[in-house]
Structure 1
């Protein structure tokens, strides 16, 4: 409950004239599933607060309307399972990792007094999409470790559509808690997934909350600037032993263009790989027994971006050098990203890294509430929380929330303490649900969109004088829902 107090949520739950608990708000989760048997997701009469689960991994049940795979389990089916001695025989949807259960509990779990636990919106309705693992050919192409949780963009997009259709069918406002992300893309919010989130975010009563990820100190981002007549820039990448492979992306904006060459740890130099839009090169490094592919792509993501995509297959250990040669230069800025930590099976990092521009996609999207995390106990900056801004200079994150050493339920009735983007995102999603409850059902607002919700949360954010605002780490300050109400009262 300390976390809820730090975020100004507990006072809003308990204030006599507010008593906000998330009633008649649907919070949706796209994650590893949910342990629906946990009492924190039940009403006082032991019935479920989960309105539906779309389990993309189970193919034996009834598919959701408008979707061609997975199984949908309704509120009635879940209640029947809860009354059974063998619930998973009736609703065989589980959460193997506990990640989805943890996020849902922090956002909207009921009280567990003996554990001193309470979710941010403990009376909200719940909807869950259990995401299936990405297809094997994609995991192979991007060298995703076999034990990593990895989801396809298409499954995420369909999950978002499912949650929005469900909310509309129930006539409930929707908050989506988005706790997954990657380093792929141009970090300007123009991939298909961010575009879809943006489209739904323009609708009234459909709010997305997205975490910034945990990449700030992982040394997976590099940034530099080329100038006319300047020397080439050399980027050094440290690769450890027994790395099966990795991908990497270099992004800049037209009319900036550049070509590259690669120098292996033994000193083998490819020389300049000529720049031609849409061209590819397959490179074999004899002494390293390493294959590298390089693709030049321009006007990517329906923007003016240039992308150079690298794929290292069985890279030898040591220092790999990427030499960036300017062809045409305007502002000359370029960025490079390695995959998120979970998607690399060993040690791979930039020797000269930059902790900024480390928001994981889709946190680079404009309309959602994008939240980083800090240590609520010490009020300290988190060294791992993803940092802004977007590559186009848009201010993200919007604000920060507690995310260090947060205790909550996971699968099989256990409680665990975790730190990271997931916790802050879930707490903020619960806060947004309380805000929606007040606006729609107490103030009788006709509708509220993502931009308005975000503005209200920013209005009430606490801004310790140790920083200037907005900034790349905390955005406009620390989430404090009670202070938002205090500020609005004075307007």
Structure 2
């Protein structure tokens, strides 16, 4: 057995884990992605690089890193995203100005009726509202892969103009966006259409984007999306195969999209139908904290909560702390012929942890344990255990890397089992502590789960706190679960039914709570067998609903399901809400969701939020009425048309027109969204004044809408006393 002892390191456990995997040549490449760990990434000089979050000490700027070959990307306060050449990683970590290096962790995509179910149709048609709400004047960003830029779903409703304004393909070669040194940016419709598709050539992103913003109704199937008039900005996140990317590039993409929206003076919502099992799941990860910092008024993030419902990739135990206690469990490997995987352990601050690997001889009902490894404020006793079949009854190795995480003070371990097939032996571990607190474990969900194997004293895995990082755990991110609006799809003209129950929570939808006690998800939306656009460049299997030809090319619509489909539905709804309330913050959006979400026999009565349903099922129509109410109490922004002056004078309103206009009409709405009065004015001249008597209306707040042939629709708050 070989043992290596480290002190508290500037390198995160995953960074050390990855470097060890590189040395053992166990990191995936494009030809062999099956291990589902981060692939090797190289820079222009052919060096293997570590994509990472780099924490700087106060008073240091990023410039001092460039002389060491570090390529800095985004700068957010004292945290950077950067590529560090592997061969200088230890050198960079030793620099006085570097506080901590956290390698990016793997990211994977999370895979008509819905609009009707969520009352989106009423929002789009403007029923009893001041106007139609289709995301006009709002930027919808999507970070994903598998985009077909040419699909008619992403044109204006009359097919006259492409709505995709910017594309950053992080995997392509070419001119990178300003401030970045990788990928290729496309800034004109001509360049975007000439490229046609991103380098991924799958279809996940095309389907997701169609749900959020699709506007095509060419074939009368009514399968268009929610924010049909929104501008679109796309980021194809960095990956060399369809499974893996890293979360540092996702932060770069968020910043890129928000920066574009700010440059054109428009509010923005970004969808991330992506997930990762790596992280503390409590909102304190570097990704979550940077994502929270980047959000604000008119800047929202929406993410899928994950598809881990019904899995056993999580386990936890609370320790009383009055005596030594033990959490014991076994690895349950997906690939029994090649048992390997990862388990991440997060322990509450102040817990002194002892780790002990075990091998269980099934036939003899006997447990063999091994030397302990200690992890606390004073030591991080990282070890690699090598097993010999003649001694241990099992072949292979198990490494444990640990730290006291500087972001949240928690004891953080990564376990990396890599065994050979050994029938008759189960492999597991003990975690021992005498301190009070809770320990949470998460596996990578693909290669490993956790099991008691029905043995007394051992903990079985569960799907509690199974929300993904990236979309499911951030404190300001709107996290979305999925419920069932269609329980079947049609294959070869024949309905194919699932075991899902219409209107119930989707069986795969991940659930909360977060370890810090927050309710997740925040909201649920339709997520099963949603029909949306498919990439015409994707040659893999598609479950098609229909196809048609446009501009000489065949395009498909088809079925997909997952919280990946529920998340863009909410992102589209948020775009319509931002049209009504451009300064909406994540906190106000959550307040509106809590106030307006629907509850029924399936959700049950929700008081303060549910870890299955969030605040309930989305009601886009009730929510937009709340947005109008919120906007009524805010001073008009500089973008408002101020050429006409509105004076609320006692119990009348005087409108002073600033220029000649025709077909002028005034409409008065109450805060329930109902039109209570209409007055046709016709032609007006500059300087003309029109008075509206309000004596017949009950006291309260109203919205006055001014329309005209030359007037952008104006909505002003009116108070009747």
| TM-score, shorter chain, exceeding 0.5 | yes
Distance 1:5 1:357 in 2: 31
Where does residue 383 of structure 1 map in the other structure?
507
User: TM-score w.r.t. structure 2 length?
Assistant: 0.61
Where does residue 595 of structure 2 map in the other structure?
459
**Which residue of the other structure, out of 417, 422, 429, is the alignment partner of 2:564?**
422
Which structure: greater strand fraction?
Answer: 2
Distance 2:624 2:577 in 1: 9
Q: Cα distance, 1:169 vs. partner?
A: 1.5
**Which residue of the other structure, out of 108, 111, 122, is the alignment partner of 2:228?**
122
Q: 1:197 to 1:275 in 2, by over 3 A?
A: closer
Matched, 1:484 2:623: yes
Where does residue 493 of structure 2 map in the other structure?
none
Matched, 1:364 2:473: yes
Matched, 1:47 2:186: no
Whether the aligned pair in 1 keeps the contact of 2:212 and 2:226 (CA below 8 Å) is yes
Where does residue 272 of structure 1 map in the other structure?
372
Q: Cα distance, 1:36 vs. partner?
A: 0.4
Q: Cα distance, 1:468 vs. partner?
A: 3.4
Distance 1:223 1:406 in 2: 34
SS of 2:592's equivalent?
helix
Whether the aligned pair in 2 keeps the contact of 1:167 and 1:174 (CA below 8 Å) is yes
Q: Cα distance, 1:53 vs. partner?
A: 0.4
Q: 1:193 to 1:279 in 2, by over 3 A?
A: same
Q: Cα distance, 1:225 vs. partner?
A: 2.0
Where does residue 139 of structure 2 map in the other structure?
26
**Which residue of the other structure, out of 278, 283, 287, is the alignment partner of 2:385?**
283
Where does residue 533 of structure 2 map in the other structure?
409
Where does residue 292 of structure 2 map in the other structure?
198
Whether the aligned pair in 2 keeps the contact of 1:268 and 1:285 (CA below 8 Å) is no
- Tell which deviates more after alignment, 174-183 or 348-357: 348-357
Q: Cα distance, 1:25 vs. partner?
A: 0.7
Q: Cα distance, 1:244 vs. partner?
A: 5.8
Q: 1:199 to 1:182 in 2, by over 3 A?
A: same
Distance 1:219 1:148 in 2: 24
Whether the aligned pair in 1 keeps the contact of 2:154 and 2:216 (CA below 8 Å) is no
Distance 2:384 2:567 in 1: 41
Distance 1:409 1:349 in 2: 37
Distance 2:420 2:141 in 1: 40
Whether the aligned pair in 1 keeps the contact of 2:286 and 2:407 (CA below 8 Å) is no
Which structure: greater helix fraction?
Answer: 1
Whether the aligned pair in 2 keeps the contact of 1:370 and 1:397 (CA below 8 Å) is yes
SS of 1:233's equivalent?
strand
Whether the aligned pair in 1 keeps the contact of 2:126 and 2:132 (CA below 8 Å) is yes
Whether the aligned pair in 2 keeps the contact of 1:398 and 1:454 (CA below 8 Å) is yes
Distance 1:231 1:66 in 2: 51
Greater relative CO (CA pairs within 8 A, separation 6+): 1
Q: Cα distance, 1:369 vs. partner?
A: 1.3
SS of 1:325's equivalent?
strand
Where does residue 433 of structure 1 map in the other structure?
575
Distance 1:426 1:393 in 2: 26
Q: Deviations over 1:381-433 (max 9, x none)?
A: 22211111111112221111111111111110222211111110000000000
Matches of residues 48-447 of structure 1 in structure 2 within 5 Å?
Answer: 48-59=162-173, 61-78=174-191, 81=193, 87-88=194-195, 93-112=198-217, 113-133=219-239, 149-201=243-295, 203-227=296-320, 228-229=322-323, 231-239=325-333, 240-243=335-338, 245-266=340-361, 267-276=367-376, 277-287=379-389, 288-298=394-404, 300-316=405-421, 319-326=426-433, 328-330=434-436, 332-341=437-446, 344=447, 348-351=449-452, 352-362=460-470, 363-377=472-486, 378-412=502-536, 413-440=555-582, 447=583
Q: 1:315 to 1:6 in 2, by over 3 A?
A: farther
User: TM-score w.r.t. structure 1 length?
Assistant: 0.88
Q: Deviations over 1:346-368 (max 9, x none)?
A: x6443412221111002211112
**Which residue of the other structure, out of 107, 113, 122, is the alignment partner of 1:11?**
122
Structure 2, unmatched stretches of 5+, are 1-111, 362-366, 453-459, 487-501, 537-554, 630-670, 673-700, 702-721
Query: How large is the Cα RMSD of the aligned pairs?
Result: 2.1
SS of 2:354's equivalent?
strand
Q: Cα distance, 1:94 vs. partner?
A: 4.7
Q: 1:415 to 1:103 in 2, by over 3 A?
A: same
Q: Cα distance, 1:457 vs. partner?
A: 2.2
Q: Deviations over 1:137-186 (max 9, x none)?
A: xxxxxxxxxx6511112111111111111111122111000111111111
Distance 2:400 2:137 in 1: 51
Distance 2:329 2:556 in 1: 45
Count of aligned positions: 456
Whether the aligned pair in 2 keeps the contact of 1:182 and 1:340 (CA below 8 Å) is no
- Tell which deviates more after alignment, 257-266 or 387-396: 257-266
Whether the aligned pair in 2 keeps the contact of 1:373 and 1:382 (CA below 8 Å) is yes
Q: Cα distance, 1:220 vs. partner?
A: 0.5
Distance 1:247 1:272 in 2: 19
Distance 2:212 2:450 in 1: 34
